[in-house]
Structure 1
Amino acid sequence: MTSFALVGFGWRAATFWRVAQGLSDVTCAGAVVRSPRALPVPAFTSLDECLQQARPDFLVTAVPRAANPDVIRAAVAKGVPVLAETPPAPDLDGLHALWREVGAEGLVQVAEQYLLMPSHAARLAAVRTGIIGTPTQVQVSSTHQYHAVSIIRGFLGAGDATATVRATRTVAPLVDPQNRQGWTGDTEPKPATTTIATLDFGEGRSGVYDFTTNQSRNLLLFRRLLVRGTHGELRDDEILHMPEAQTITRTALVRRQTGHDLDLDGFDTQTITLGDDVLYRNPFPGRRWNDDEIATATLLTAMANWVRGDGPEPYPLAEGIRDHLIALAVEESADSDKTIVARGM
């Protein structure tokens, strides 16, 4: 059994704890919080106390972004592996300082889960079969900042490529029916900001970032993903490609979701397929988890495997830093109306 301790116990930390309850080989040993309070796990008021008493194999930091670097540094100083919530530092200076201080230690991973979600994982698997050739452009309109950048970079395989960023903002009225707390009951349009950016990674690779205020939760807005390749396109859950000369086909990615109509197996994701090929199989059948919970469980399992020496790094610090460096460049470009060059570490 591999154990972890949380630093913080807010909304995101609670998700890690809840998901760990459904894992057979990963457990949450406690949480470090600023003031004692009733929690479903042992609570500690300092990192030292937690490490001495709970003896976790790794930490999951889920604290405000301004506090994240200090927690990461403290853990690394004690030789404890860290899975840091996104982003690992709040700003450009903080990202560079964090890399200088802990990057060489190789103890820090970043909790970037979007490409582990079933739909994205299946789409990425499809693209990697070569069905649309070499990916050249990725357009994302669904989630914000570093998450969207991670999706773009992941599908392009951009690695540590420099990104040239051009961004603009517009404001328009929009109804916002839901937020993190649920339905708002508000049917009046309010000003919403849309940020659109182009990311040029060189060698013919580019991205389009399109995000509107609260888009991740606003069900009045479509979530869109397009991956353009040399031999076709993936658009959301459909692929347009050319299997042979003078032949164009459209093929759907199909999710097998139980629990609908007379399917009495209970609500669950089973597989996502492309024709006869299984692109994704839910590694946690029977848990009845949503996509974010499946991704979080996949991330925790990968982190535990890496800590034990049984698997690769889940998402190294350098990758998380690159995501946020580019996300910050988007904001800077939109603020300044200038082209910004975002370089890797």
Structure 2
Amino acid sequence: MSDDATPDATSERAAALGLTSPAAEEGAAGPVRFAVVGSGWRAEFFLRMAVLMPERFAVVGVVSRTAERGAEVTARWGTPTFRTVGELLAATDPELVVVSVPWDVTPVVTRELVEAGTPVLAETPPAPDAAGLRTLWEQVGASGLVQVAEHSPVMPAHAARHRLLQDGAIGQVTSVQISSTHMYHAVAVIRRLLGAGFEPVRITAQRFAAPLMNPRTRAGWTGDRDPVEASTILALLDLGEGRSAVYDFTDNQWHNPLRADRLLVRGSHGELLDDRVTRWLDGETTIDSPLVRSQSGIGQDLDGYDLQHLSFEGQVVYRNPFVGARLSDDDIAVATLLDRTGAWVRGQGEPPYPLAEGSQDHLISLAVEEAAGTGQPITTEREAWAG
């Protein structure tokens, strides 16, 4: 049942969390009303968006397993909590529900919500393994109610790079090399930048172990001084039609400052290396141009620390839709998913990341892990979600 709680004013919650709420125009239908199943670390990314931008997003309830955890959530975020999905839906009227629970629980909760006719934004991955992906698709795929919260492709820099590729800056895109994030996140970026669909992918991979210091984790600085053995997977993906990708990920690469993000995209008329594009211009000219980040709040800029836009050769190729909220790039991507999912459920936009896409990402990432574990090539098959 619902915990007894009277939510504080949004401004008071924001102040208590050390956050400020920006002025944002309210849409014609008001803020997107969403609920969250789960109360862990990743669920809080969505809850934080409602505190920062109440004109855009409103949390109507959270499902937590215990009353004790529910009380903590209510105290921190000012939202009522429930023990079950049924209780949540009986007491609230969300436009969509974010499912942010352990991998093996996600399909169960997703099915329950779809059976109730409720649109779902499921955290990655939508099911733990290939068999689970296929079963989930068989059970809910035809409903069209499930989107996946794959945020990596819509992070500002990746969105700007994708725009450049679409505009033909380096001609026909042929390969991607990524060393940044892991599994389905990396695959999602690869597939988007290459324009790949649901074709079979041939994967060869190998796992290597080498010493590496681990000075920082999600919990903070470790104080560790001595290198320990860290695992790295190197994989080569053949996506057909001359398209290829190199996947390179080391344990804890998200947090370890000794391993930087790297991205190389090659095309018929040039290449994009991180934030610099080398491309053909005319008969005897190639040029080297940066992707420029416009960031307020640096030095004597008193407007507050905020991403404004990304530009290339004098043209804006990405503009932050949430200026004033002081969001990290990861938070901007989360807010973008929420915003686009809200527009989709209101019939005002395209599906932001359908279940088929999220399933394909994870299918390929599982094949990468399998190929690295066995040392044998793996070729994925065309699945039912390919349509």
Give TM class, smaller chain: over 0.9
User: In structure 2, how many angstroms separate the alpha carbons of the residues matched to 1:119 and 1:45?
Assistant: 39
Preserved contact between residue 107 and residue 126 of structure 2 (Cα < 8 Å)? yes
- Name the % identity: 50
Match of 1:276 in 2: 314
Match of 2:62 in 1: 31
Match of 2:344 in 1: 306
Residue 43 of structure 2 corresponds to residue 9 of structure 1: no
User: In structure 2, how many angstroms separate the alpha carbons of the residues matched to 1:56 and 1:20?
Assistant: 14
Residue 257 of structure 2 corresponds to residue 212 of structure 1: no
Match of 1:48 in 2: 86
Cα distance 1:285–1:270, how it changes in 2: closer, same or farther (>3 A)?
A: same
User: In structure 2, how many angstroms separate the alpha carbons of the residues matched to 1:259 and 1:334?
Assistant: 44
- Tell me, what secondary structure is at the counterpart of 2:52? coil
User: In structure 2, how many angstroms separate the alpha carbons of the residues matched to 1:187 and 1:71?
Assistant: 42
Match of 1:324 in 2: 362
User: In structure 1, how many angstroms separate the alpha carbons of the residues matched to 2:150 and 2:50?
Assistant: 17
What is the deviation of 1:211? 0.2
What do the CA deviations read for 1:1-33 (whole angstroms, capped 9, x no partner)? Answer: 321110001000011000122231321111111
Preserved contact between residue 20 and residue 297 of structure 1 (Cα < 8 Å)? no
Q: Among 259, 264, 268, which residue is 1:221 paired with?
A: 259
Match of 2:190 in 1: 152
Preserved contact between residue 176 and residue 266 of structure 2 (Cα < 8 Å)? yes
User: In structure 1, how many angstroms separate the alpha carbons of the residues matched to 2:137 and 2:348?
Assistant: 25
Letter in 1 for 2:61: G
**Root mean square deviation, CA, Å:** 0.8
What is the deviation of 1:182? 1.2
- Tell me, what secondary structure is at the counterpart of 1:158? coil
Letter in 1 for 2:63: V
Residue 293 of structure 2 corresponds to residue 262 of structure 1: no
How many residues align? The count is 345
Letter in 1 for 2:186: A
- Tell me, what secondary structure is at the counterpart of 1:11? coil
What do the CA deviations read for 1:325-345 (whole angstroms, capped 9, x no partner)? Answer: 000000111111111011242
- Tell me, what secondary structure is at the counterpart of 1:206? strand
User: In structure 2, how many angstroms separate the alpha carbons of the residues matched to 1:139 and 1:63?
Assistant: 31
Preserved contact between residue 118 and residue 145 of structure 2 (Cα < 8 Å)? yes
Preserved contact between residue 84 and residue 111 of structure 1 (Cα < 8 Å)? yes
Task: Give 5+ residue unaligned stretches, structure 2.
Answer: 1-29
Letter in 2 for 1:98: L
User: In structure 2, how many angstroms separate the alpha carbons of the residues matched to 1:292 and 1:28?
Assistant: 20
Residue 271 of structure 2 corresponds to residue 233 of structure 1: yes
TM-score scaled to structure 2, two decimals?
0.88
Match of 2:331 in 1: 293
Match of 2:170 in 1: 132
Match of 2:199 in 1: 161
User: In structure 2, how many angstroms separate the alpha carbons of the residues matched to 1:161 and 1:283?
Assistant: 33
Structure with greater proportional strand content: 1
What do the CA deviations read for 1:280-302 (whole angstroms, capped 9, x no partner)? Answer: 11101111110001111111000
What is the deviation of 1:145? 0.2
Match of 2:118 in 1: 80
Match of 2:49 in 1: 19
What is the deviation of 1:123? 1.0
User: In structure 2, how many angstroms separate the alpha carbons of the residues matched to 1:226 and 1:127?
Assistant: 12
